Amino acid sequence: MRPLADGTIPPEGSAYWVALTQFETAARVLNLDEGMADYLRHPKRELTVNFPVTMDDGPLRMFTGYRVHHNTVRGPTKGGIRYHPNVDLNEVRALAMWMTWKCAVVNIPYGGAKGGVIVDPNLLSQSEVRRLTRRFATEISIIMSPEGDIPAPDVNTNAQTMAWIMDTYSMHKGYSVPAVVTGKPVQIGGSLGRVDATGRGVMVTTREALKLRGKSYRDVTVAVQGFGNVGSFAASLMAAEGAKVVAVSDASGGIANSKGLDLKALKEHVARNKIVKGFPEADEITNQELLTYKCDVLAPCALENQLTGQNADQVKAWIVAEGANGPTMPEADRILEDKGVMLIPDILCNAGGVTASYFEWVQDLQSFFWTEAEINARLERIMAEAFHAVMAEAEKRKVGRRVAAQVLAIGRVAEAATLRGIYP
């Protein structure tokens, strides 16, 4: 791998190493000019902030956070903010790069960004999380705006987090600026259909993949890793289409029942107990066992680096729908392709969230809002069109579907950069 401008190479196996490895493969297929390739592999700007928060019992505690803008040639940057103890700058760089390609593959006018704070929010009180969020929003507000960079929820952040960020930014401006974030509550400028949009995108792209094999959801079993905002909605929407969901998991572990899980009862169980473990009429399994559980469709909707060279050959599903960002390592990609598994790559499969975020941003800018039916119809059209564009690219270039998605996306960004020209 070519070193970056600072002379470094990301640690092998890290999310950023995976993102750059994928990029190099697509750049070779595109026969991209080396100067343009070097431009696109680098983030445009990176902000690291160290900031204090007053804890409930009085003392100050320092936190570190990041905001990375990968590319802006197709529009303002867009990307989530995550709160997690394992957040680091390389991970945020990778996620920002993937966001650029994700926006381009569904052809919406954004570049990619990502942010995060090194924290386990489960160890903080609600008031401590609120103060942390407001201080972090203040720190990154120097590069955040409705015209320049629009954050959204990600791991361990939600609509309330976005409400605090929007309010903080608005207090600094002196007037309400709802378009500065997406994923807000509907009552303050959020969009209908936003909460389930990423899961809906997973459902739509998987449905289109099944059609290519002459199947429908009524014909298949599904296992979903991750039962948060993405996985729970993906599972429910697939089940509503007729699929039999046989296994799900969260950070605590997983549950399985080959006869199918009652998702309504499971959601009630999770609402009461906060975890899927302990759900009756299901066997307990580990997250690793879920990835190799007997099913037709596997939807990894948790964190990155889940399918590896060690477990990919044991995957029994014939469709892998990547609801998470970067869940499959490059060596696992090769194994799954050799097995004939139909992979729906992350930058396509989970792009429903950023597509709905785009809808929210547009509605906020014009102060005119659409119905949920209109939003879902627009989302389904964009996701289905993007799916078939990626399939056509794979067929035309005789490459795997991940490479095809990256080639389509990177080609669009490179074309925009060429048309704009390099300043000055």
Residues taking part in catalysis: 114
**Rg, C-alpha atoms of the chain:** 21
Residue 180 CA to residue 162 CA, distance in Å, equals 9
| Tokens 């090194």, located at residue | 118
| Tokens 């009756």, located at residue | 280
Quick check: bond before 146 cis, omega within 30? no
CB 317 within 8 A of CB 298: yes
Residue 77 CA to residue 111 CA, distance in Å, equals 4
Residue 206 CA to residue 380 CA, distance in Å, equals 12
Tell me the pairing of strands 60-69 and 111-118: antiparallel
CB 70 within 8 A of CB 46: no
DSSP secondary structure of 75-107: SSEEEEEEEETT--HHHHHHHHHHHHHHHHHTT
CB 403 within 8 A of CB 330: no
| Tokens 């990894």, located at residue | 300
Residue 190 CA to residue 182 CA, distance in Å, equals 7
CA-angle at 275, arms to 206 and 244, nearest 5°: 30
CB 318 within 8 A of CB 342: yes
